[in-house]
Amino acid sequence: MIKKLVMLLTLILSVNINAQQNYDPVVVLELFTSQGCSSCPSADKLLNKIKEKYKKQNVYVLSYHVDYWNRLGWKDPFSSSKYSDYQRKYAKRFDIRSIYTPQLVVNGSEHFTGSNRYKTDSALEKYSKTKASTMIAIKNVRKEGSAISFDYNIKGEQFDNLTLALVVSDRTTNISKGENRSRTLKNTNIVANRLVRKENFGKVSITIADWVREQDELSIIAYTQGKALKITGAIQIML
């Protein structure tokens, strides 16, 4: 009983102090990818390397698995039409005619092929020097049945959208069909669900996707965006 109480107090404490501090610079990398795309594995590997290299810094990576490759023989188990629609918003923001994979969007401000190490490193250096304009705090995180509930609060300048993403740290999949047939792919920080809010504070509940396993390492990545989808602040809470 004492051990359980200590663990509970540790969880509450870590959630309350692990908040974005002093408008420090943040870098958010959103990779639009698919297990059905033969060009995507190299971008997936690069994203994982960045995650490991910058895990103690304010660099947050997300894998949004799109669904438009599913028709080519392999249905990506992590894919969602919602993420394809989100990518289309970026296409409109960047004034490009079509969406593509692997596409890496950095701080909602620029995009390029997700396997391009040179452009990725340049973007990391560039945005690591830009102060955030919002601060995000998340607390009272709890699991309620098949959902994760928590409270959030945002300080600073006005924003247009707050994205709240539930992510799975990593997953390895054996591909039996499609362009990546007979390959074993590793994906990192896979978005398992995504909510969007506009209020400065509130209480939310994110449903856990049915493909998530009990042993998966979960976290919440939250980030604010302006009207042009530019990211203005971010935080990650490990669950």
Give tens-digit pLDDT for 144-169: 889 999 999 999 999 999 999 999 99
pLDDT more than 70, % of the chain: 91
User: The tokens 């401000």 sit on which residue?
Assistant: 109
pLDDT for res 14: 41
In tens, the pLDDT along 20-65 reads 668 999 999 999 999 999 999 999 999 999 999 998 899 999 999 9
pLDDT for res 22: 80
CA dist list (Å): 68 to 79, 81, 116, 196: 9, 8, 22, 22
Task: Reduce the DSSP state of residue 117 to 3 states and report it.
Answer: helix
pLDDT for res 227: 87
**CA–CA dist 136, 150 (Å, integer):** 13
Q: Give the dihedral sign, CA 81/120/61/48.
A: positive
pLDDT for res 56: 87
pLDDT of 19 higher than 50:
yes
**CA–CA dist 124, 176 (Å, integer):** 35
Which one, of 34, 46, 65, 33, lies nearest residue 193 by Cα?
65
pLDDT of 12 higher than 50:
no
- For residue 77, with 0-12 CB atoms within 10 Å meaning exposed, 13-18 middle and 19 or more buried, which class applies? middle
Task: Reduce the DSSP state of residue 107 to 3 states and report it.
Answer: coil
